[in-house]
């Protein structure tokens, strides 16, 4: 079984779960949902490493990726919906789905063991290991260099969309973290040590003096500017705008799959259609009207907040992607 890694990395609340599930809908992908969350990579690679340091990290990063197929925890492999795979044993999908749903129900009270994958030993077609991350965007440039056979996708959402969604999630207690993202000064101090922050002359005192939406905009700017800079010139890296996928989902996903060297499949096209023609109100749902999801921030954020956010990102390479 050949494993061809696909890395789908972006900030939280940037459409990464929908994008990850579209890739998961392909029968040849082996999907791993945020296996690096909770600091799983911290002993291997800093959160915001210098891209020049890629080579020394290559062995450990390749080992981490090579171990992902064996990571079958419910948290990493049980994100719904799930899909039939070409590599499953007969009845393997039905068995796995039943165990998954049972595990989710039982997980409220007991620790659930890893889920079996029911892979056919005779399967010889390529399998595309797909890793979706909201934690390691700052690591993507190093990963793309350390794992040159991977296809690295940098996912960006409009800064106002990102800020509006983070604020909404925090207001309803739906996002993890002991403090709001705008007050997570541990991350902010690490961002201040990046080249984009140094070029901007940022200081902690200045950021502390700003409004929360401005600090979130700086967080968006610095993470995405670093990723764009680290990935520049790499043939195995591609940046995609969430809004482009929302505007013309099938055409935009076909283009993204072509970059990932993943053949288009009717099962994926059916899921793209299903996920964009139905609406579920849940905050983390992948079933949404894409255009409404992309631009709802226009109603959720005040015009003053929108202006503050766009002024913060205006003179950055990431912000330039959203200039009129």
Q: Break the chain into its structural domains and give their ranges.
A: 6-320
pTM comes to 0.96
pLDDT in tens, 27-73: 999 999 999 998 899 999 999 999 998 899 999 999 999 999 999 99
pLDDT in tens, 186-239: 999 999 999 999 999 999 999 999 999 999 999 999 999 999 999 999 999 999
CA 13 to chain centroid, in Å, comes to 9
Pair of tokens at residue 125 = 């077609």
What's the burial of 59, exposed, middle or buried (CB within 10 Å: 0-12/13-18/19+)?
exposed
Contact 3, 129 (CB under 8 A): yes
Report the CATH number of the 6-320 domain: 3.40.50.300
H helices present in the chain, as ranges: 16-24, 54-67, 74-77, 92-106, 140-146, 159-171, 185-192, 195-200, 204-208, 212-231, 242-247, 249-260, 266-277, 290-295, 297-300, 303-313, 317-320
Which residue from 48, 16, 316 is spatially nearest to 186, judged by alpha carbons?
48
Pair of tokens at residue 162 = 């990102």
């Amino acid at each position: 079984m050949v494993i061809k890694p696909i890395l789908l990395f972006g900030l939280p609340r940037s459409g990464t779960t929908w994008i990850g599930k579209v890739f998961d809908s392909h029968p040849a992908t082996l999907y791993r949902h945020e296996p690096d969350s909770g600091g799983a990579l911290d002993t291997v690679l800093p959160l915001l490493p210098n891209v020049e340091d890629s080579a020394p990290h290559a062995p450990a990063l390749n080992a981490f990726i090579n171990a992902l197929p064996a990571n079958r925890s419910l948290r990493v492999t049980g994100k719904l919906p799930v899909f039939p795979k070409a590599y499953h044993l007969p009845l393997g999908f039905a068995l796995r789905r039943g165990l998954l749903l049972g595990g989710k129900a039982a997980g409220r009270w007991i620790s659930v063991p890893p889920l079996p994958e029911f892979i056919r030993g005779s399967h010889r077609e390529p399998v595309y290991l797909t890793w979706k991350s909201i934690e390691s965007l700052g690591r993507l440039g190093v990963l793309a260099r350390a794992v040159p056979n991977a296809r690295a996708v940098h996912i960006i959402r409009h800064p106002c969309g990102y800020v509006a969604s983070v604020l909404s999630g925090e207001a309803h207690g739906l996002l993890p973290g002991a403090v709001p993202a705008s007050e997570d000064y541990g991350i902010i101090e690490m961002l201040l040590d990046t080249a984009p922050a140094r070029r901007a002359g940022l200081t902690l005192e200045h950021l502390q003096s700003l409004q929360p939406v401005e600090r979130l905009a700086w967080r968006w700017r610095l993470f995405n500017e670093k990723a764009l800079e680290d990935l520049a010139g790499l043939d195995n890296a591609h940046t995609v705008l969430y809004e482009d996928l929302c505007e013309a989902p099938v055409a935009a996903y076909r283009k993204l799959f072509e970059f990932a060297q993943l053949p288009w499949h009717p099962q994926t096209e059916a899921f793209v259609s299903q996920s964009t023609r139905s609406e579920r109100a849940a905050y983390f749902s992948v079933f949404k009207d894409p255009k409404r999801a992309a631009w709802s921030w226009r109603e959720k954020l005040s015009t003053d907040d929108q202006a503050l956010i766009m002024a913060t990102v205006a003179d950055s390479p990431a912000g330039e992607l959203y200039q009129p």
